[in-house]
Amino acid sequence: MQNVTEKHGSKINGYLMLFLVIGLTLFNIYWLILMIQWEDPSMLLVFVPLVIVNFVSFGGFFVVQPNEARVLVLFGKYIGSVRESGFWFTNPFATKKHVSLRIHNFNSERIKVNDLHGNPIEIGAVVVYRVVDSARALFDVENYEQFVAIQSETAIRALASEYPYDSHEDDKASLRGNPQEIAEGLKKQVQTRLEVAGVEIIEARLSHLAYAQEIAQAMLRRQQAQAIIAARKKIVEGAVGMVQDALRILSEQKIVKLDEDKKATMVNNLMVALVSDHEAVPVINAGTLYQ
């Protein structure tokens, strides 16, 4: 496949050429009047070519609006692109194809895919893009807007299979827990796929993320259970640290001397008070720890 890269197309100020074409039209009218008055058929040899040139010249005018490009093609050959807004004139035989350089939004449909753990999920994304190479967008792909849509959905599917929907481990990224990282990964994947079309990805973010309907209730209960387990784990880790600090401070400051049995009793009481779901109720011991 022959890759085409955008280049600058030749053009002339349209107002100047319009003035010249109008002048040529007036000259043709004057020449016709002379030809009729003089009744000289040989004057047709000048009149006919000038009229043809006059009419053909009108096909060379075109207008470029802000944030758009006109791709010039002469007899099947790409001869350049015009990005500067204004009224221009170029080769009348060249076709002038319009390509928008404005920022576009692509909002994908909700796609059902499997995440890293094989759970079916529904996912959708918004991709913000613009054309940076009008020649590649027009000639290297059939339809760059359809190409963006298909390749974006393919990138979304590929990204979803690389991450779990959710993760309670801090060192593991997930679709729900790391939106910025997921957005950067999606942007990178989409940009790689759309490079051939001369398209630049400005932003790509997930717009919808949920478990598939058939497992939504089950996964919600599982998610709640995982959250409870993760919370319990944090509570226990914190309680163990507090108990260790308490024993260390009592030992360093020599507030009380504890043997192994007393330490075990104290650890048991502190762990129950710190880890319990319900508020701890103090019990006053009027005797010793052994009574």
**Residues 95-141 pLDDT 10s:** 999 999 999 999 998 988 888 888 888 999 999 999 999 999 999 99
Nearest C-alpha neighbor of 290 from the set 262, 259, 253, 251: 262
Residue 280 binned pLDDT confidence (cut-offs 50, 70, 90): low
Burial of 4 (0-12, 13-18, 19+ CB in 10 A): middle
**pLDDT score recorded for residue 36:** 83
Secondary structure element (H or E) that encloses residue 267, with its range: helix 260-275
| Residue 43 clears pLDDT 90, i.e. is over it | no
**pLDDT per residue over 1-40, tens digit each?**
567 889 999 999 999 999 999 999 999 898 888 888 887 7
| Inter-residue contact 89 to 11 (CB < 8 Å) | yes
Q: Is 80 left (phi over 0), alpha (psi -120 to 50) or beta?
A: left
What's the pTM? 0.69
Torsion over CA: 181, 187, 190, 196 (sign): negative
The reported pLDDT for the residue numbered 170 is 63
Residue 234 has pLDDT above 50, yes or no: yes
Identify the band that residue 254 occupies on the pLDDT scale cut at 50, 70 and 90.
low
**pLDDT reported for residue 291:** 47
Mean of pLDDT values over 29-57:
86
Q: Which residues pair with 204 in a beta bridge?
A: 127
User: Per-residue pLDDT averaged across 45-59, rounded?
Assistant: 90
Per-residue pLDDT, 271: 62
**According to the model, what pLDDT value does residue 70 have?**
95
